Amino acid sequence: MTTQPTTFAHHLTQDPVPEEVRAAILADPGFGTNFTDHMVKIDWFGDVVAGTGRWNDPRIEPYGPLVLDPAAAVLHYGQEIFEGLKAYRHADGSVWTFRPEANAARLNRSARRLALPELPEQLFLDSLRELVAVDEQWVPDGEGESLYLRPFMIATEAFLGVRPSRQVLYSVIASPAGNYFGGPVQPVDIWLARDWARAGRGGTGAAKCGGNYAASLIAQIEGEAHGCQQVLFLDRDRGDAVEELGGMNVFFVHDDGTLVTPELTGTILEGVTRSSILQLARDRGLTVEERRFTLDEWREGWRSGRITEAFACGTAAVITPIGRLVSTEGAIGDDDARPGPVTMDIRRQLLEIQTGRAEDPHGWLTRLV
């Protein structure tokens, strides 16, 4: 049985980022390039096979390099998982996050798949609160800006035998974030990955682990060479069924008020933003379908006008309109595509809930500070 500690020790930095430097960063935060002064660390020792173990020494430390033995299991067998969520500054100065319980649950689903220990939900939530409370001054307040939170778990035992690690580190780091793709919201072009797969049946596609993202990078490079910002993967065993982008789920708006997204088959990550969009779409009276959706259906839907909009979603980018799907077989979509009204309305509603400018009918917000 895994037990949890109750209090965090604070070992605060003696060399914080100067206020004027932090102000310059927050004036143009970008994404994932600057980090706050502190980080969370919690150690685990135990045996996941036997179902025993304990989380130990929860603490806030100065942000800095990790010290790992060269034989640490994460470096050799990729035993690691991570999450992504955001902290938003509301108008009254308070700081909130969005559906962190869903991230905690997904972290534990990923942990089970990668044979890592599960982290108690309350300890996950406390780790976010502790870090944001210490580094609250790093939370930006500009339009569309947030503090991106990256919890992660890595196997740290120095052992080259192939078995689950008996030592693990859970950590949280934070980075001020602006628009993921930069600038105003505009449709992005997507490259069709014909020769590559992100995940396979029975694999780790439903887990949020680094290997899935590493597997997508070669296709991402190929897409960028063709002027595309993201890449789409297909399931060739299911009639070229659309799966997901390199790190985002995908949706299709139809002219009859139907919103379609690929069903979860074990090879697609169950996104928190994805599930939120499904609920908001139902609230708006849209017909929601989670089902197999093929490349041919996308092509024919675009040609006939039945598919009026396509968009991708994820924590980092929130909702991003898709302009064209580009491939060696030609493009699906219009060269002069503009963001669609359904896409932008759902995006606006989601952001307004997250930033406290609209009612939170489903109780998705959790106050951190």
Please state, in angstroms and rounded to a whole number, the distance separating the CA atoms of residues 101 and 120.
11
Global pTM value: 0.95
Instruction: Return the percentage of the chain with pLDDT > 90, whole number.
Output: 93
Average pLDDT rounded to a whole number, residues 211-219: 95
Whole-number mean pLDDT of the chain?
A: 95
Q: What is the mean pLDDT of residues 128-151?
A: 96
pLDDT of residue 184: 77
* Domain 9-177 indexed as CATH 3.30.470.10: yes
Q: How does pLDDT run across 312-332, given as a tens digit for each residue?
A: 999 998 999 999 999 999 999
Cα distance between residue 145 and residue 180, in whole Å: 10
Residue 185: pLDDT band by 50, 70, 90 thresholds?
confident
Residue pLDDT, tens place only, 330-340: 999 999 999 99
Mean pLDDT of the region 7-15 = 97
Residue 368 near residue 133 (C-beta atoms within 8 A): yes
Query: Which residues pair with residue 319 across a beta bridge?
Result: 313
Q: Which CATH superfamily is domain 188-355 in?
A: D-amino Acid Aminotransferase, subunit A, domain 2 (3.20.10.10)
Burial of 43 (0-12, 13-18, 19+ CB in 10 A): middle
pLDDT for residue 57 is more than 90: yes
Q: In Å, what is the CA distance from 337 to each residue of 254, 257, 310?
A: 16, 20, 10
Q: Which residues contact 149 (CB under 8 A, 6 or more apart)?
A: 83, 84, 85, 86, 87, 97, 128, 131, 132, 172, 173, 174
pLDDT score for 4:
57
Where exactly does CATH 3.20.10.10 map onto the chain? 188-355
Q: How far apart are CA 54 and CA 119, in angstroms?
A: 10
Beta strand 318-327 pairing with 307-314: antiparallel
pLDDT confidence of residue 35: 98
pLDDT-derived band at 139 (thresholds 50, 70, 90) equals very high
**pLDDT of 203 above 90:** yes
Query: pLDDT tens across 80-125, in order?
Result: 999 999 999 999 999 999 999 999 999 999 999 999 999 999 999 9
pLDDT at residue 183 above 80? no
Alpha helices (H) in 36-165, listed in sequence order: 73-77, 100-113, 121-134
314: which strand partners?
Answer: 318
User: Cβ distance 369 to 95 under 8 Å?
Assistant: yes
Q: Where in the chain is the domain with CATH 3.30.470.10?
A: 9-177
Whether 254 contacts 260, CB under 8 Å: yes
Q: Flag whether pLDDT at 3 surpasses 80.
A: no
